[in-house]
């Protein structure tokens, strides 16, 4: 009888166990699914926020790239290109066509600019004419190019010194152009690789700043007058000037090089060289003369003695004669 009761009780207990277990499993499963759904929604929101942030960053970087392109294009426009002289060309006509046709300068304004610009004559087939115009600044110079006769033969000793300096500037311009081409290549690379935009753009900004600074320095040099000064005795002692036979032709330039002309003034900013007696260890400045002798006092320049000789000013009257010139100031 007892065995029969146990057999009847066991199925009921099993049924009761499943009756309790199944709703529990269903309830637990429902809670877990809801939690997973909430976590998934949170992950989606986080990803959407990150996508929005990345889109803003990409838009910002693209604006920076466009700005760099504009700055680089402006820099390329500043780099002069040479013109190969052909038969029948003149320096004036080459410069005039460059200003009016390539730079859009009105004819009257181009003529006014060229009236104040030193131009070379004659020029030979094969010479290279370099023209530069930016803002209101125009400059031009000639290099030998493929011609058989050097510029030194045509322009004599003074012109040779200027040519050496121009060749140096020409090399620097070529280096500037090379760096600009490298900069363009880097910009093209940046357009394809957005992942490292920030680091590369910072490097490019620095390089552009350096190029602009160097370009401004080159423009300043192209518009400068180079000089060094000293007393007549010190210049003679250092072999920079020498006398002529019986002093009939005055003083002449002796052994000098471009390295001697460390001082310069940018003729766009000032046309006055200031001298102080104390800098030359003399009590007073009585007179200032200039070599080379083809530069004429009171025609090309004027000297003003001030403060009873404590100082003097050399005032440039004809700017075009002194552009890129190398002069010696003799203090008496």
pLDDT in tens, 118-160: 888 778 888 889 888 877 889 888 888 887 776 667 666 556 7
Please, are residues 290 and 327 in contact by the beta-carbon 8 Å criterion?
yes
Does residue 168 register a pLDDT over 90?
no
Asked if residue 247 and residue 179 are part of one domain, the reply reads no
CA dihedral 74, 214, 109, 298 (to 10 degrees): 170
Tell me if the pTM is above 0.75.
no
Domain with 120, as residue range(s), is: 78-222
CB 242 within 8 A of CB 285: no
- CA neighbor of 275 nearest in space, from 210, 197, 329: 329
Q: How many domains does the structure of the chain reveal?
A: 3
Task: Flag whether 63 is in a domain.
Answer: no
Of 222, 248, 277, the domain-final residue: 222
Same domain, 191 and 118: yes
Looking at the fold, whether 125 and 177 belong to one and the same domain comes out as yes
Same domain, 196 and 237: no
b/e per residue 302-320 (b: at least 16 CB within 10 A)? ebebeeeeebbebebeeee
Judged against a pLDDT cut of 90, whether residue 310 lies above it is answered with yes
pLDDT per residue over 44-63, tens digit each? 888 888 888 888 888 888 88
Are residue 148 and residue 190 in the same domain, yes or no?
Answer: yes
| Sheet arrangement for strand 82-84 | 82-84, 128-134, 137-143
pLDDT tens by residue, 254-297 = 888 888 898 999 999 999 999 999 999 999 999 999 999 899 99
| 103 shares its domain with 215 | yes
Residues 210 and 233 in one domain: no
């Amino acid at each position: 009888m007892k065995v029969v009761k146990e057999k009847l009780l066991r199925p009921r207990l099993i049924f009761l166990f499943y009756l309790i277990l199944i709703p529990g499993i269903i309830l637990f499963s429902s809670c877990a699914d809801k939690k997973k759904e909430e976590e998934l929604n949170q992950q989606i929101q986080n990803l959407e926020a990150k996508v929005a942030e990345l889109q803003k960053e990409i838009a910002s970087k693209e604006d920076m790239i466009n700005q760099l392109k504009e700055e680089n294009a402006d820099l390329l426009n500043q780099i002069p290109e040479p013109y190969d002289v052909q038969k029948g060309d003149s320096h004036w006509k080459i410069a005039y066509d460059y200003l009016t046709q390539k730079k859009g300068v009105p004819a009257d304004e181009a003529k006014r600019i060229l009236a104040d610009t030193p131009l070379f004559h004659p020029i030979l087939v094969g010479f290279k004419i370099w023209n530069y115009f930016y803002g209101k600044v125009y400059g031009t110079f000639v290099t030998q190019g493929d011609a058989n006769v050097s510029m030194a033969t045509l322009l004599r000793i003074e012109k040779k010194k200027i040519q050496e300096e121009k060749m140096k500037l020409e090399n620097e311009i070529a280096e500037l152009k090379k760096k600009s081409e490298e900069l363009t290549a880097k910009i093209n690379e940046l357009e394809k690789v957005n992942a490292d935009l920030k680091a590369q753009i910072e490097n490019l900004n620095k390089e552009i700043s350096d190029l602009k600074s160097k370009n401004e320095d080159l423009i300043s040099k192209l518009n400068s007058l180079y000089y060094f000064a000293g007393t007549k005795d010190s210049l003679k002692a250092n072999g920079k000037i020498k006398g002529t036979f019986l002093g009939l032709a005055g003083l002449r330039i002796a052994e000098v090089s471009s390295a001697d002309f460390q001082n310069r003034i940018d003729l766009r900013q000032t046309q006055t060289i200031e001298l102080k007696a104390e800098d030359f260890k003399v009590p007073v400045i009585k007179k200032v003369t200039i070599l080379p002798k083809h530069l004429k006092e009171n025609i090309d320049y004027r000297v003003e003695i001030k403060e009873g000789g404590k100082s003097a000013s050399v005032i440039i009257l004809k700017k075009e004669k002194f552009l890129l010139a190398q002069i010696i100031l003799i203090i008496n």
